Amino acid sequence: MILKGKEIVLGVTGSIACYKSVDLVSRLRKLGANVNVIMTGNATEFVSVITFQTISCNSVYADMFKPIGIREHEIKHISLAKRADIIIVAPATANIISKLAWGIADDPLSATVLACRCTILVAPAMNESMYRNPILQENIRKLKKRGFRFIGPASGNLACDEEGEGRMVEPEEIVEEIVALIGVKQDLEGKKILVTAGPTREFIDPVRYISNPSSGKMGFALAQEARDRGGKVVLISGPTNLALPDGVKFMQVLSAEEMEKEVLHHFDDSDIVIMSAAVSDWKPSVRVKEKIKMKDELNLRIESTSDILAELGKRKGKRILVGFALETENLIKNAKEKLKEKNLDLIVANKIKGNYPFGSDTNKVVFIERNGKVTSFPKLHKSEIARRILDRIKP
């Protein structure tokens, strides 16, 4: 069991999303973790103490001055804080987030968090207007600077009969994050990993460009996985709509030329380079300075962009170099040729069907290694594909 022997403290605050936390406790216990639950007074109005006590097989900490099954001479919140490998606050209301940001410790949960030295993971849950409030956003930024990690919120239907951002993320997502934080070996500690992500844009005029539908999700998943395994990560990405991962050095680029410049700047210091960006193969020969009007005739001349991956293959040395291949036909044959031509250690290949896998959270890929080994996988979440890529290439 991947979390066997891990001590987890779950803080539950007053939100309708409390019911999800019951499922979260169950999932964590199935992975071998010992879970102690701390409830605020408002949380007990949504889910009973006995529910969490039953599902966790531990007494629940819901009052500053009542015993919760630990030795009488121990100070309760200090004891929990010392034992915890991680503290999760899920759901986390605007109230608890703001209290933690300002060091207020007037209930069992806030006192325990203030006393801990372990990783703290926060899963917000509230109305979208509350979440977007500048005061709350300032408090979230403050906590992130202090090392707190946040997951979510997600968008969707809210309890207030509105739709927007503010839903607590699903328990399985929180479990994945917890496993990444405390259940994964730090096998990349001391290694420098360079990851590229997203598309590039090659402008025709100020408002039109050549690009592709890449979402950047694969590259961001790789950066997060490498970070969670102890790597020092540089993420270079074209335009995406993704939240920036904490704990990585991030560079935003736009064109293939900008991507090449940043990649070459960081290449020499890297131990592992994973080129998952969908770099445009072509660019206009001339970029028009003014917007082209519809009545004007458009004769577009294009030329190839620089082959960044081929250049890295020439400079590879002892580095591990990974590339990607998206094909519409002859997947294995074309991917093998690319692996050889670019001097790669591993190529991750997949076939496009319609618009899939662009924008999707999942993909169906094939690994082809330098030694010729070919491994096909079923449809997997991109975070799982990232894990398997790093499992395959770790030094």
CA atoms within 13 A on the CB side of 141: 7
Dihedral (CA of 68, 74, 78, 82) sign: negative
Q: Which of 18, 57, 118, 160 is catalytic?
A: 160
C-alpha to C-alpha distance for 109 and 38, rounded to whole angstroms:
6
Q: How would DSSP label each residue in 57-84?
A: TS--B--TTS--SS-TTS-HHHHHHHH-
3-state DSSP assignment of residue 178: helix
Q: Is 160 a catalytic residue?
A: yes
3-state DSSP assignment of residue 310: helix
Dihedral (CA of 230, 231, 232, 237) sign: negative
C-alpha to C-alpha distance for 258 and 219, rounded to whole angstroms:
17
CA atoms within 13 A on the CB side of 226: 32
C-alpha to C-alpha distance for 326 and 335, rounded to whole angstroms:
8
- ∠ CA 129-21-110, rounded to 5°: 70
Strands 362-363 and 282-284 turn out to be unpaired
Strand partners, 284: 302
C-alpha to C-alpha distance for 144 and 141, rounded to whole angstroms:
5
Dihedral (CA of 363, 361, 244, 197) sign: positive
C-alpha to C-alpha distance for 356 and 213, rounded to whole angstroms:
10
Catalytic (active-site) positions: 160
